[in-house]
Structure 1
Amino acid sequence: MKWFALRYIFQIISGDGNYASQFDEQLRLIQAKDAQDALTKGEGQSEHFHRPFRNCNGELVKWEFICIADLYEIEPPGDGSEIASVLHEPKDMAFFLEELKRREAFLHQSIFIENPN
């Protein structure tokens, strides 16, 4: 069996859909014998990832599966395994680096709050 990373695209629909369109992009690992098997298995599992729920306004919120947009064969997962890579070519490098610093600070703050020891 081989490992594959699949990029799922879901549309999030709240109530009657009169909200700004939201799409959820997820990377998930699938173990399969080949790429076709991974795609078939991945599409079959897509219906079970998100259960509908009611938001604070009582409106039904659901994730509608759109497609699997990418599929990559990867090395068997282990500690430190790469599962995704995104290349950036920012127009404003200073802004990009500042945004990364803000995200890093938020991450460290969040971890500290969750694990105060």
Structure 2
Amino acid sequence: MKWFAVKYVYQIVSGEGSHAPQIDEQIRLLISQNISDAWSKAQALAKKFHQSFKNIKGEEVRWDFLCISDVKEIDLLEDGCEVNSVIHEPADYKAFMDDVNRHKTFLADVVENVPIH
């Protein structure tokens, strides 16, 4: 059996969907015999990953499956192995880096507040 990194793409829709589009790209690891089997398995699982829920406004929030945009075999699953890489050529570098820094700050806050067991 082999490991595969599968990139799923979903659109998050809240209520009637009258909000800015939200796209969720997810990388999930699957075990399959070959890339063809990984593709079939990924398709079969795509709609099973997310349950809709009600947000604080009482609106239904759901993930609408759009597509599988990539399947890559992971040659060696070990500490530090690469499972995904994306090269960006942003039209607006400053806006892109502002977004990266917002995510970095959010992650730092989350990590600092993780309880030590």
Normalising by structure 2, we get a TM-score of 0.80
Larger Rg: 1
Is 2:47 the counterpart of 1:47? yes
**Structure 2 residues not aligned, in runs of 5+:** none
Equivalent residue number for residue 56 of structure 1:
56
Give the Cα–Cα distance (whole angstroms) in 2 for the partners of residues 81 and 50 of structure 1.
27
Aligned residue runs from structure 1 range 17-96, under 5 A: 17-88=17-88
Deviation at 1:47, TM superposition (A): 1.3
Partner SS, residue 40 of structure 2: helix
Give the 3 Å change call, closer, same or farther, for CA 103–8 of structure 1 in structure 2.
closer
Identity of aligned residues (%): 41
Name the amino acid aligned to 2:57.
N
Partner SS, residue 71 of structure 2: strand
State the Cα deviation string for residues 4-41 of structure 1 (Å, max 9, x = none).
11110001111111111111111111111111110110
Is 2:102 the counterpart of 1:107? no
Deviation at 1:56, TM superposition (A): 0.9
Give the Cα–Cα distance (whole angstroms) in 2 for the partners of residues 59 and 96 of structure 1.
30
Over aligned residue pairs, what C-alpha RMSD do you find?
Answer: 2.7
Give the Cα–Cα distance (whole angstroms) in 1 for the partners of residues 19 and 96 of structure 2.
29
**Structure 1 residues not aligned, in runs of 5+:** none
Q: Which has the higher helix share?
A: 1
Number of residue pairs the alignment of both structures matches: 117
Deviation at 1:42, TM superposition (A): 0.5
Deviation at 1:87, TM superposition (A): 2.8
Give the 3 Å change call, closer, same or farther, for CA 92–17 of structure 1 in structure 2.
closer
Name the amino acid aligned to 1:58.
G
